[in-house]
Amino acid sequence: MFDRANWMGDHRQQLGDKKLRELVLAASHDSAQYDSGVALQAQTLTIGQQLAAGIRWFDLRVGYADGKLKIHHERFYGVDFATVLDDVGNFMASHHELVLLKISHFRDFNAERFRSALLLIVNRLGPYLVTGALDNRVAATPISRFIGRNAGAVLVFVDNNDDSDATKAEFDFDPTLRTYKVLRRYRDWYAPIRRTATSPSSTSTATRRPSRPWFVGRTTMPIERMRSRATAAVFPRGSSRSTASSTASAASRMQPARTCRATCFCCRGRSPSAAARR
């Protein structure tokens, strides 16, 4: 029987030589939105339950409300950010998996609140954050670099240049200062495309505008020119996974597909159907 909670650790021999960008990872959108009203609920499972079900990429949107850092969906808040990190930490204590957290859409944030979020991440997940220098870009790093016989890892990506107005207006911290030694720069390869006109009479041409998120680790060594190609896809409902070996083999053969960041109307002002036609 296929063990979703340990699918990476159990198959590290088959997956170890694969680069991160060569795997398709199960993910959840608007993660941790299980404690909201029905209209805003994105999942029914907690983060711990999602991890046990095989989810490895989480889309976390953090805001500040009632004196706490909380997960939000637009203007509606759910569970505490600390609860999410505790769920991840408790899971990692007994599983040797690779977990990726993408944190963005900061709401009502400033430098002090960002520092609080960073300290929460380091304090709750410190033993599992990747340490030391990577030989390649994150996306080009073999899975064996992150997981071993008795160890797992958590990669945390903090996007300080997303499209949310709250971030642009209130994010006043400077990640280049020595205070933020746990941050590494990377480029989001699938960042939004900005349209620019070559002349008043010409048609618009697309130019890539990579966002500049930060990779949370525990080292001062910068990793330059990183392009994140980690691709997320949820396991198809009712998919047949008769044997663990066949599943691992299939996962290793999957090629990353381009993911669209405009997948819901709440994120980019487009309907799901319009986003799907891109």
Q: What is the 3-state secondary structure (H, E, C) of 67-136?
A: CEEEEEECCEEEEEHHHHHHHHHHHHCCCCCEEEEEEEEEECCCHHHHHHHHHHHHHHHHHHECCCCCCC
With 60 as the cut, is the pLDDT of residue 251 above it?
A: no
Poorest-pLDDT segment among 57-61, 87-91, 220-224: 220-224
Would you call 216 helix, strand, or coil by DSSP? strand
Confidence of residue 86 (pLDDT cuts 50, 70, 90): very high
Q: Output phi, psi for 33, to 5 deg.
A: -95, 60
- Residue 56 counted as domain residue: yes
How far is the C-alpha of 34 from the C-alpha of 44, rounded, in Å? 5
| Backbone region of residue 32 per phi and psi (left: phi > 0; alpha: psi in -120 to 50; beta: other values) | left
CA-nearest of 182, 179, 176 to 154 is: 182
- Print the domain residue range for 192: 4-238+248-276
- Residue 243 counted as domain residue: no
Per-residue confidence (pLDDT) for residue 40, from 0 to 100: 67
Q: What is the 3-state secondary structure (H, E, C) of 160-186?
A: CCCCCHHHHHHCCCCCCCHHHCCEEEC
Per-residue confidence (pLDDT) for residue 82, from 0 to 100: 95
Q: What share of the chain has pLDDT > 90, as a percent?
A: 15
Q: What share of the chain has pLDDT > 70, as a percent?
A: 53
Per-residue confidence (pLDDT) for residue 139, from 0 to 100: 82
CATH code of the domain in which 139 resides: 3.20.20
Per-residue confidence (pLDDT) for residue 12, from 0 to 100: 83
CA-nearest of 54, 137, 48 to 97 is: 54
| Residue-wise pLDDT tens digits, 99-110 | 999 888 888 888
Helix 81-92 and helix 111-125: axis angle, to 10°? Answer: 20
β-sheet bridge partners, residue 207: 194
- Residue 176 counted as domain residue: yes
With 80 as the cut, is the pLDDT of residue 244 above it?
A: no
Q: Return the ∠ at Cα 46 (arms to 80 and 62), rounded to 5°.
A: 35
Poorest-pLDDT segment among 57-61, 69-73, 162-166, 266-270: 266-270
- Residue 209 counted as domain residue: yes
Instruction: Tally the domains of the chain.
Output: 1
Q: Are 33 and 76 in contact (CB under 8 A)?
A: no
- Residue 190 counted as domain residue: yes
Confidence of residue 1 (pLDDT cuts 50, 70, 90): low
With 90 as the cut, is the pLDDT of residue 223 above it?
A: no
- Residue 117 counted as domain residue: yes
- Residue 51 counted as domain residue: yes
| Residue-wise pLDDT tens digits, 190-209 | 444 444 444 444 333 344 44
